[in-house]
Amino acid sequence: MSTLKEKLYEKIEEQRPRTERLMNEYGDIVIDKVTIAQALGGMRGIKSLVTDISYLDPNEGIRYRGYTLKEVFEKLPKPKGSEMPYVEGLFYLLLTGDMPTEKEALDVVDEFSKRRIIPRYIYEVIDSFPCCSHPMTIFATAILSMHRESFFTKKYSAGIHKKDYWDPMYEDSVNLLAKLPEIATYIYAKIYRDGKRIQSNPNLDFGGNFAFMMGKEKPYDDVSRLHFIIHSDHESGNVSAHTGHLVASSLSDIYLSISAMVNGLAGPLHGLAAQGVLQWLHELVDRMGGEKVIPSEDEIKQYVWETLNSGQVIPGFGHAVLRKTDPRYALQREFSLKYLKEDPIFKYVDILYKVVPPILKEQGKAKNPWPNVDAQSGVIQWHYGVREYDFYTVLFGIGRAIGICANIIWDRALGYPLERPKSVTTDMLEEFAGIKKKETKK
């Protein structure tokens, strides 16, 4: 057994009695109420999911296992000569709640490296897509196609005790996560590089190997580590995390669940906003006559108002939970101020940071006028030469899969059941509201 799996097993044994006690002795305690606005409004804010892997405070932002992002970046072990930590160390932290030592992080690097090679048929699946297919569609399908590899599914059909579900789920998760950089970079090569692919380097870590396969020099390895780590988890209720959890709750294996979560991430109000920001910015760049012409604040304000007045959202701004600037935005901004201050597109993003929040406040609709993670991630990729912006959500998906796999392993470890909330009808809501009398059926 790997050290990570042993540690995880210890943690599961510690945690199970806590969950069982809450369920058996305190199951009737009320933790929230549900209003009509919440039932009609996307269940916003209803406390009905449990995860210990991350927690999103509306004002402070995300904490992974109790650590702020700043602390995560300070404390996780880093490869020599790198500013950013091992992604594998983050997986250790998310799964166990303990900050890994360098040796513990390196054990996971080794584990991932051994499992990184993808089955041959995945190349064929990717190659079979017609041109102009969106990379997220290809990514989701490639992951889905590996369903046949699932240990969990094999063990389940052979008969396995419920308490042991987490074990094959862990094996499937590590197998899948280790392969995601290979799958993504092969998709990138197929769509944008005439299929000219760079083979992986088994001596590199997750972020380093991803940069290598993308054909990028330093510091793109650190850019990748930063990107994957900040995108990995955002508690359980966002569309991608919730989709992964929901699908896995029917005991679908990790391939089915992560493919589904990728599809949720591919929507423009969620992960596709990373692409949306650059697309929207480039319409402005074209209007200005090229990226060398930096618009004035007034020109940007006019563009923002035009977008709003045409009934569209400003991509990269607003959030369903956050009520302050997203710390994931702030971290990327810090990186950008250090490394891409003179980049013309960064200058656009910088002006947006000043002008969009007051406009959204003035419009008075968005509850959170501040930028989110997606407002800043694309410009960094653009700067380092990944200019095919419809690929950006795939990068998000690689990161997000790490957190969701950790959550699903824990879902199985703690025996979380099939998810099945209850629906009501509009008539019933009107009855609750007292504007309609309950009809008795004749």
| Catalytic positions, written as ranges | 270, 319, 374
CA distance 90 to 62: 14
347 alpha carbon, distance to own chain's centre: 26
Tokens 């020109």, residue?
A: 299
| Residue number, 145 or 307, with CB nearest to ligand HAX | 307
* One of 126, 254, 273, 395 touching ligand HAX (CB under 6 A): 273
Answer whether 291's CB lies under 8 Å from 285's CB.
yes
37 contributes a contact to ligand HAX by CB under 6 A: no
* One of 160, 251, 313, 429 touching ligand HAX (CB under 6 A): 313
Stretch that binds ligand HAX, among 18-26, 64-72, 263-271, 426-434 (CB under 6 A): 263-271
CA distance 229 to 77: 13
269 contributes a contact to ligand HAX by CB under 6 A: yes
Q: How far is the CB of 246 from ligand HAX (least distance, A)?
A: 17
Q: Coil, helix or strand for 430?
A: helix
Residue 323: phi and psi, rounded to 5, are: -125, 15
CA distance 148 to 150: 6
Cα angle 407, 410, 416 (rounded to 5 degrees) comes to 100
23 contributes a contact to ligand HAX by CB under 6 A: no
| Residue number, 122 or 184, with CB nearest to ligand HAX | 184
Q: Kindly provide the b/e burial profile for residues 379-417, where b requires at least 16 CB atoms within 10 angstroms of the residue's own CB.
A: bbbbbbebebbbbbbbbbbbbbbbbbbbbbbbbbbbebe
Task: Please give the residues from 317 up to 346 whose contact with ligand HAX meets the rule CB under 6 A.
Answer: 317-320
Task: Please give the residues from 203 up to 262 whose contact with ligand HAX meets the rule CB under 6 A.
Answer: 238
Task: Please give the residues from 354 up to 383 whose contact with ligand HAX meets the rule CB under 6 A.
Answer: 365-368, 372-374
315 contributes a contact to ligand HAX by CB under 6 A: yes
Q: How far is the CB of 106 from ligand HAX (least distance, A)?
A: 31
Position closest to ligand HAX via CB: 318
Q: How far is the CB of 249 from ligand HAX (least distance, A)?
A: 21
Q: How far is the CB of 260 from ligand HAX (least distance, A)?
A: 16
**DSSP H helical ranges for 249-321:** 254-265, 273-288, 297-309
88 contributes a contact to ligand HAX by CB under 6 A: no
Q: What 8-state DSSP symbol labels residue 62?
A: E
Q: Which residues bind ligand HAX (CB under 6 A)?
A: 238, 269-271, 273, 308, 313-320, 365-368, 372-374
